[in-house]
Amino acid sequence: MRKILIIDDERNVRLLIEKFLDEYEIDSLISVEEALKKIVENKVKYDLIITDLKLPGKSGLELIRELRNNAYECPILVVSAYVKPEILSEIFKYDKVDFLSKPFTKDELTKKVKSLIEEQKDSFDKALRNANKYLELGELNKAEKMIKQMFYILPSSPIPHYLMYELLKKRGNISLAEKHLKAAKALDEEENNEKN
């Protein structure tokens, strides 16, 4: 299940977003500081972050800056009533960031969320195609870069582990390759159990 983090100091807004996005696994926080602790320190991965701009302590914009400085490429949807042109232009300097004005409808929110998450799936598929191509060509460093990108985009997917197994086998690192194969099979099993 896709995982979304909501950061908003208004409880009713958090509850509304949770209600609108009930098919996702949701974590809810009220400050950027809490979010950074969870993401940067505790290494929790999300498929999407939804944040307000005006928050107690650090702002939503500061959150975006800090996440991108830490190479955290997760898509971010800024949901705010606070809209100044200079703030918007600052937000859109960053990749995979979109904006939705408050108040919003369920339809507006779900469209934005789906497009940001789908864009991420497209990035995964593109990295997968490139990783396979580079493995076939024997360009192992380029393949490794693509595989690491896939790990980042979908950490719970078995696919990057299978590819890393192939890559490490080609490099002769059999013991580490076997660990990736084991991880891939475990994730595969987990995925199948969730479906049944």
In this structure, the answer to whether residues 134 and 75 fall within a common structural domain is no
pLDDT given for residue 108 in this prediction: 95
- Confidence category of residue 195, pLDDT binned at 50, 70, 90: low
pLDDT given for residue 191 in this prediction: 65
How high does pLDDT run on average in the chain?
A: 89
pLDDT given for residue 156 in this prediction: 76
In this structure, the answer to whether residues 158 and 95 fall within a common structural domain is no
Q: Which of 175, 177, 152, 153 is nearest to 164 (CA)?
A: 177
User: 40 lies in a domain?
Assistant: yes
Q: Which domain holds residue 14?
A: 3-104
Q: Bigger pLDDT: 185 or 71? A: 185
User: 146 lies in a domain?
Assistant: yes
CA dihedral 90, 95, 101, 107 (to 10 degrees): 170
pLDDT in tens, 42-97: 888 899 999 999 999 999 999 999 998 887 878 999 999 877 788 888 888 888 89
End residue of a domain, out of 104, 136, 152: 104
In this structure, the answer to whether residues 12 and 77 fall within a common structural domain is yes
In this structure, the answer to whether residues 91 and 8 fall within a common structural domain is yes
Q: Bigger pLDDT: 52 or 117? A: 52
CA-to-CA dists, residue 123 to 9, 44, 70, 136, angstroms: 31, 20, 19, 20
pLDDT given for residue 82 in this prediction: 76
What CATH number does the domain containing 176 carry?
Answer: 1.25.40.10
pLDDT given for residue 98 in this prediction: 92
